[in-house]
């Protein structure tokens, strides 16, 4: 009976240790704390706790790790069989990126019907949830219930419920441009030396990010990377140009020792001559020839344009 008491005591002891170190304990820690416990008894105790579902077995670079299992989920999982536990484990491992049902099948080697049953079960127990991926609208990925889905799945700040928020992007686009434009104008009006003028017309991506955050037009939190994607679209609109400068590590807004600077620019030419004429914009340009149904002589676009 002394043996049984030792066992109970060591079980409780190990459980206490685990609670002390929520991130997990190694064999070495147990040994240091309970030097009188023989390795064999230790192994038995740990196995007992594992089978009871009160401990989690993990592996890290140093070796095996034992962690206190979340009692809530532990109680919920009590009713489940090993298969469910396996599937749950796989989903947990996928973290906040989620995992596709076909991949669960590969990893667990269980037949599809089984998987589906288990997934339905787990969902009803509110242990996992399905999130629609923005990449393929029919694809569903599963992840733990209380996890925040990763950006690659939801599409990040630009998607709300699978819909790309074009208006939101447009508004941000215009606001960023206005900010940069007014900064450039202020620099021009300052009438200082040209170098100073040019440098003060630049804004770092960090400055723009702060301005947008302070404006408060965004319901979701935007990161500096998000703002940089918006600024890039302004570059593709031909309204803004960017340079990169070296910045000291630790300067606000610097990433990997460099900062991106943006400033508003003007177009280098006025709209070209060809587009001031109806033919330059005509949708049936290729069908037009003299003597045909569509010809310069009977062109209605020209007639309208001439009378303007």
Partner 1 sequence: MTAQEVRLCGLLLQEHFGDVVEKVGTHLLRNGAQHLRAIVQETGTPMDLVKKSLCVLIQHGACAFSSGRKGPGSPVEYQASFERILRILRYPRYIYTAKTLYGDTGELIIEELLQRGHMTMSSTVKTVADRLTLNMEEGHSMEYSEVSNTFSKLVETHFLQRCPPVEVAGKAVSATPDPATTPGAPANNTTPSTPESFADCYKVPHVTLIGRGKRRNSSEDGEDQRNAKRAKEDPETHGDEGIYWQVNFERFHLHFRDQAIISAVANKLDQTSSEIVRTMLRMSEVTTPPIATCTQALSANEIFRSLPPNYNISRPILDQYLTLLVDDPMEFVGKSGDSGGGMYVVNLHRALANLARATLESVVQERFGSRSARIFRLLLRKRHLEQKQVEDFAMIPAKEAKDMLYTLLSENLVQLQEIPKTPDHAPSRTFYLYTVNQLPTARMLLQNCFKTVANLIERRLFETKESKRLLEKSQRIEAILASLQASGAEPEQLTEVEEMITPPEKQQLESLRHHINKLDSAENQVDETIFLLESYIKSTATATR
Q: Which residues make up the interface to partner 1 (CB under 8 A)?
A: 158, 164, 166, 169, 173, 188, 193-195, 198, 229-230, 232-233, 235-238, 241, 243, 265-269, 271-277, 279-281, 285, 288, 290, 295-297, 299, 302, 305-307
Minimum CB–partner distance for residue 274 and partner 1 (Å): 4
Closer Cβ to partner 1, 216 or 271, answer by number: 271
Closer Cβ to partner 1, 146 or 266, answer by number: 266
Minimum CB–partner distance for residue 186 and partner 1 (Å): 15
Is 63 buried (19+), middle (13-18) or exposed (0-12) by CB count in 10 A? Answer: exposed
Minimum CB–partner distance for residue 282 and partner 1 (Å): 9
Is the CB of residue 104 less than 8 Å from the CB of residue 87?
A: yes
For residues 2 and 4, give the distance between their C-alpha atoms in angstroms, rounded to a whole number.
5
Is the CB of residue 46 less than 8 Å from the CB of residue 55?
A: yes
Is the CB of residue 29 less than 8 Å from the CB of residue 21?
A: yes
Closer Cβ to partner 1, 14 or 187, answer by number: 187
Minimum CB–partner distance for residue 132 and partner 1 (Å): 15
Is the CB of residue 241 less than 8 Å from the CB of residue 265?
A: yes
Q: 84, 221, 75, 58: which is closest to 142 by C-alpha?
A: 84
Is the CB of residue 187 less than 8 Å from the CB of residue 201?
A: yes
Closer Cβ to partner 1, 111 or 280, answer by number: 280
The CA distances from residue 273 to 22, 239, 269, 278, 306, in Å, are 72, 21, 11, 11, 16
Closer Cβ to partner 1, 69 or 263, answer by number: 263
């Amino acid at each position: 009976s002394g043996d049984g008491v030792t066992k109970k005591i060591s079980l409780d002891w190990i459980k206490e240790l685990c609670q002390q170190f929520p991130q997990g304990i190694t064999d070495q820690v147990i040994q240091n704390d309970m030097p009188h416990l023989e390795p064999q008894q230790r192994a038995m105790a740990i196995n007992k706790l594992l089978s009871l579902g009160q401990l989690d077995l993990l592996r890290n670079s140093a070796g095996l790790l034992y962690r206190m299992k979340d009692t809530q989920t532990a109680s919920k999982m009590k009713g489940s069989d090993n298969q469910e536990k396996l599937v749950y484990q796989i989903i947990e491992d996928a973290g906040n990126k989620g995992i596709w049902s076909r991949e669960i099948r590969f990893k667990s080697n269980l037949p599809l019907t089984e998987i589906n049953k288990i997934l339905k079960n787990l969902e009803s127990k509110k242990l996992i949830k399905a999130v629609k991926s923005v990449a393929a609208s029919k694809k569903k990925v599963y992840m733990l219930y209380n996890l925040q889905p990763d950006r690659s799945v939801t599409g990040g700040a630009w998607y709300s419920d699978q819909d790309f928020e074009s208006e939101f992007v447009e508004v941000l686009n215009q606001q960023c441009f206005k900010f940069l434009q007014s900064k450039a104008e202020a620099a021009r009006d300052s009438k200082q030396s040209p170098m100073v003028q040019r440098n003060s017309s630049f804004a770092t991506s960090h400055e723009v990010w702060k301005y947008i955050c302070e404006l408060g037009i965004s319901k979701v939190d935007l990161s500096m990377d998000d703002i940089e994607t918006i600024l890039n679209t302004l570059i593709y609109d031909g309204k803004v140009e960017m340079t990169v400068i070296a910045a000291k590590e630790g300067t606000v807004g610097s990433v990997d020792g460099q900062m991106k600077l943006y400033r508003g620019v003007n177009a280098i030419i006025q709209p070209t001559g060809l587009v001031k004429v109806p033919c330059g914009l005509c949708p049936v340009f290729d069908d037009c020839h003299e003597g045909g149904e569509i010809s310069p002589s009977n062109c209605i676009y020209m007639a309208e344009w001439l009378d303007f």
